[in-house]
Structure 1
Amino acid sequence: MTVELLRNAVRPYAWGSRTTIPELLGRPVPSPHPEAELWMGAHPGDPSRVVGPDGTERSLIDIVATDPVSQLGTRCADQWGGKLPFLLKILAVEEPLSMQAHPSAAQAAEGYEREERAGIPRDAHHRNYPDPTAKPELVCALTEFHALAGFRDPHRTVELLRAIDTPGLTKYTELLAAQPDAAGLRALFTTWITLPQAALDDLLPAVLDACVLHVKEHGEFDTECRTVLGLGETHPRDAGVLAALLLNRLTLSAGEAIYLPAGNLHLYLHGTAVEILANSDNILRCGLTPKHVDVPELLRVVDFSSADMPVLCGEPESGFAVYRTDAPEFELSRVEWAGGDNAEVVLDGDGPEILLCTAGELLLCAEDGSKVELPKGDSVWLPASDPAIRVRSVGAEPAHLFRATAGTCSAKAHL
Structure 2
Amino acid sequence: MDRLANTVRPYAWGSTTAIPELLGTEPTGEPQAELWMGAHPGAPSRLDRPDGQLPLDQAIAADPDGRLGKETTEKFGPRLPFLFKVLAAGAPLSLQVHPDLDQAKAGHADEESRGIPLDAPHRNYKDANHKPELICALTPFQGLCGFRRPAETADLLDALAVGALKPYADILRAARPAGEALREVFAAILTADRAATADTVAEAASAAAALADGPTPHATAYAAYADLAHHHPGDPGVLAAMLLNHVTLQPGEALYLGAGVPHAYLDGLGVELMANSDNVLRCGLTPKHVDVPELLKVTRFEPGDPAVLRPEADAGGEEVYDTPIDEFRLSRHVLAADGDPRRLSPRTPQILLCTEGHAELTGDGTLTLHRGQSAFVPAGETVTLTGQGTVFRATDVV
Moved more, 260-269 or 311-320: 311-320
TM-score by length of 2: 0.96
Partner of 1:407 in structure 2?
A: 397
For structure 1, the 5+ residue unaligned runs are: 409-415
Partner of 2:374 in structure 1?
A: 379
> Does structure 1 conserve the Cα–Cα contact (< 8 Å) formed by 2:347 and 2:379?
yes
1:362 is the counterpart of 2:359: yes
1:329 is the counterpart of 2:330: no
- Aligned with residue 222 of structure 1, among 184, 206, 219: 219
Identical-pair percentage: 46
> Does structure 2 conserve the Cα–Cα contact (< 8 Å) formed by 1:154 and 1:180?
no
1:16 is the counterpart of 2:14: yes
Moved more, 167-176 or 244-253: 167-176
> Does structure 2 conserve the Cα–Cα contact (< 8 Å) formed by 1:346 and 1:390?
yes
Note the C-alpha offset of 1:203. Answer: 2.2
Q: How does 1:41-120 map to 2 (within 5 A)?
A: 41-52=38-49, 54-120=50-116
Note the C-alpha offset of 1:357. Answer: 0.5
Note the C-alpha offset of 1:217. Answer: 4.0
- Aligned with residue 123 of structure 2, among 103, 121, 127: 127
Note the C-alpha offset of 1:216. Answer: 5.2
Separation in structure 2 between the aligned mates of residue 70 and residue 217 of structure 1, nearest angstrom: 59
Note the C-alpha offset of 1:155. Answer: 2.1
> Does structure 1 conserve the Cα–Cα contact (< 8 Å) formed by 2:154 and 2:168?
no
Show CA shifts across 1:370-405 (max 9, x none).
Answer: 31111111111111121x2210115xxxx1100000
Separation in structure 2 between the aligned mates of residue 214 and residue 32 of structure 1, nearest angstrom: 33
Separation in structure 2 between the aligned mates of residue 124 and residue 278 of structure 1, nearest angstrom: 22
Q: Would the alpha carbon gap of residues 176 and 401 (structure 1) be closer, same or farther in structure 2, given more than 3 Å must change?
A: same
Partner of 1:188 in structure 2?
A: 185
Separation in structure 2 between the aligned mates of residue 335 and residue 154 of structure 1, nearest angstrom: 40
Q: How does 1:147-186 map to 2 (within 5 A)?
A: 147-178=143-174, 179=176, 181-186=178-183
1:239 is the counterpart of 2:236: yes
Q: Residue type of the partner of 2:378? A: P
Separation in structure 2 between the aligned mates of residue 323 and residue 358 of structure 1, nearest angstrom: 17
Partner of 2:132 in structure 1?
A: 136
> Does structure 2 conserve the Cα–Cα contact (< 8 Å) formed by 1:168 and 1:206?
no
Show CA shifts across 1:94-113 (max 9, x none).
Answer: 00000001010000000000
Q: Residue type of the partner of 1:351? A: T
Separation in structure 2 between the aligned mates of residue 320 and residue 94 of structure 1, nearest angstrom: 31
Partner of 1:412 in structure 2?
A: none
Note the C-alpha offset of 1:223. Answer: 1.0
> Does structure 2 conserve the Cα–Cα contact (< 8 Å) formed by 1:86 and 1:329?
yes
For structure 2, the 5+ residue unaligned runs are: none
Partner of 1:35 in structure 2?
A: 32
CA RMSD of aligned residues (A): 1.4
Separation in structure 2 between the aligned mates of residue 360 and residue 212 of structure 1, nearest angstrom: 40
Separation in structure 1 between the aligned mates of residue 296 and residue 236 of structure 2, nearest angstrom: 14
> Does structure 1 conserve the Cα–Cα contact (< 8 Å) formed by 2:108 and 2:126?
yes
> Does structure 1 conserve the Cα–Cα contact (< 8 Å) formed by 2:352 and 2:391?
yes
- Aligned with residue 5 of structure 1, among 3, 6, 22: 3
Q: Would the alpha carbon gap of residues 199 and 79 (structure 1) be closer, same or farther in structure 2, given more than 3 Å must change?
A: same
Q: Residue type of the partner of 1:94? A: G
3-state secondary structure, aligned to 2:187: helix
Aligned length in residues: 396
